């Protein structure tokens, strides 16, 4: 009986081991499949966020005609006036009446001219009324109104912004499911890039919204000088009296004499200061001259040699001058345009 039970027990143990091994293998395969699925999702997201991805994909672009128009309207006005303060006061009063504000202003006045530059902001619906009122405040030399329809760009940027936000949420999910440090670094890099894009799109939308909500008017006012207000000054003829003329000449002569005397005084001071040096140089020159005289008396042939040397030098100079003159004469004779001077 015992011999029959032993084989049965062995078969039962082997069956249990096989079952436990199968369950462990299936658990490992499930974990591997989950990891592969996460990796595939991350890879797809990386390719979708990279080059060639259309940020507007997945969202239907609304028709610009069905949406509220986004139009930026601005104006530029240049005015010439005879009274700068009065004209500027009228314009600012009208601006406040139409619900506008002064954005920047600058005024410069001199004795000969005055001008002012300002930037006004007001609701777009009142822009035409303000521009028309400017004709009543002075001579308008330049007036222009610009309109820019940015509806399509605004809607497209909104869609791009929404898609970027969705991608950001997906990448945060992939970051939670990342299994190694390389994936974490790459996913974090993509998150930073998407966040930067979101901030850029949002800033552009905010700028467009402010530009649409307020029209900007650039004002330039220049004041002209009224001919009736020009003051003509009387010209008074004035000459020097004989007494003043004499004083001026006397002072000039005294100054010239003072300069000459001062120069003479400084010359004496310099000579007296350098007198010891002058005496030493004079003694040295006297010694050289006396020694030369003594040697000439002792050796008369040296005097003759110096004379001969001077004569040779003079002869050489005369010969060189003659050769140069003859050469120039030959060159001039060979020149077809040369005319021989009369004898």
Per residue of the chain (343 residues), give pLDDT as tens. Answer: 434 444 444 444 344 444 434 433 333 333 333 334 444 454 554 444 543 344 444 444 455 455 588 999 999 999 999 888 999 999 999 999 999 999 999 988 887 788 899 999 999 999 999 999 999 888 999 999 999 999 999 999 999 999 999 999 999 998 888 888 888 899 999 999 999 999 999 999 999 999 999 999 999 999 987 555 545 556 566 777 788 888 889 899 999 999 999 999 999 999 899 989 989 999 999 898 888 777 777 777 777 777 788 888 888 888 888 877 777 766 656 555 555 555 4
Neighbours of 79 (CB within 10 A): 23
Strand partners, 140: 79
Whether 281 is in a domain gets the answer no
Q: Are 190 and 49 in contact (CB under 8 A)?
A: yes
Whether 41 is in a domain gets the answer no
Q: Is the pTM of the predicted complex or chain greater than 0.85?
A: no
The token duo for 52 is 């060639």
Whether 49 is in a domain gets the answer no
Whether 298 is in a domain gets the answer no
The token duo for 61 is 């672009």
Domain holding 161, by residue range, is 71-223
| Edge-first strand listing for the sheet containing 139-149 | 101-109, 114-122, 215-223, 71-81, 139-149
CA-to-CA distance for 75 and 100, rounded, in angstroms? 14
What would you report as the CA-atom Rg of the chain, rounded to the nearest whole angstrom? 54
Neighbours of 116 (CB within 10 A): 21
Whether 149 is in a domain gets the answer yes
Whether 55 is in a domain gets the answer no
CA-to-CA distance for 130 and 217, rounded, in angstroms? 9
How many domains, the chain? 1
Whether 123 is in a domain gets the answer yes
Whether 29 is in a domain gets the answer no
Closest C-alpha to 111, from 11, 228, 230, 211: 230
């Amino acid at each position: 009986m015992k011999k029959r039970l032993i084989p049965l027990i062995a078969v039962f143990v082997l069956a249990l081991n096989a079952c436990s091994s199968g369950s462990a293998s299936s658990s490992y395969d499930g974990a591997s499949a989950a990891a592969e699925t996460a990796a595939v999702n991350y890879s797809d997201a990386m390719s979708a966020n990279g080059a060639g991805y259309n940020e507007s994909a997945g969202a239907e672009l609304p028709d610009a005609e069905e949406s509220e128009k986004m139009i930026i309207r601005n104006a530029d006005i240049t005015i010439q006036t005879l009274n700068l303060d009065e004209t500027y006061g009228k314009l600012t009063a009208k601006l406040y009446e139409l619900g506008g504000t002064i954005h920047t202003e600058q005024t410069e006045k001199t004795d000969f001219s005055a001008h002012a530059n300002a930037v006004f902001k007001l609701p777009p619906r009142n822009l035409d009324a303000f521009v028309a009122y400017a004709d009543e405040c002075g001579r308008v030399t330049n007036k222009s109104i610009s309109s820019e329809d940015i509806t399509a760009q605004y809607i497209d940027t909104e869609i791009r912004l929404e898609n970027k936000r969705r991608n950001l949420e997906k990448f945060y999910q992939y970051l939670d499911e990342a299994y190694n440090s390389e994936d974490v670094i790459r996913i974090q890099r993509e998150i930073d890039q998407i966040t930067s894009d979101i901030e850029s799109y949002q800033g552009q939308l905010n700028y467009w919204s402010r530009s649409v909500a307020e029209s900007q008017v650039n004002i330039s006012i220049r004041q002209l000088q009224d001919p009736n207000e020009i003051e003509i000054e009387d010209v008074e003829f004035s000459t020097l009296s004989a007494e003043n003329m004499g004083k001026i000449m006397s002072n000039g002569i005294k100054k010239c004499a003072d300069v000459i005397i001062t120069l003479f005084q400084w010359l004496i001071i310099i000579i007296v200061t350098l007198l010891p040096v002058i005496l030493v140089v004079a003694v040295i020159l006297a010694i050289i001259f006396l020694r030369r005289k003594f040697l000439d008396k002792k050796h008369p042939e040296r005097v003759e040699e110096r004379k001969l040397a001077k004569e040779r030098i003079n002869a050489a100079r005369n010969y060189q001058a003659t050769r140069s003159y003859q050469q120039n004469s030959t060159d001039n004779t060979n020149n077809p345009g040369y005319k021989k001077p009369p004898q």
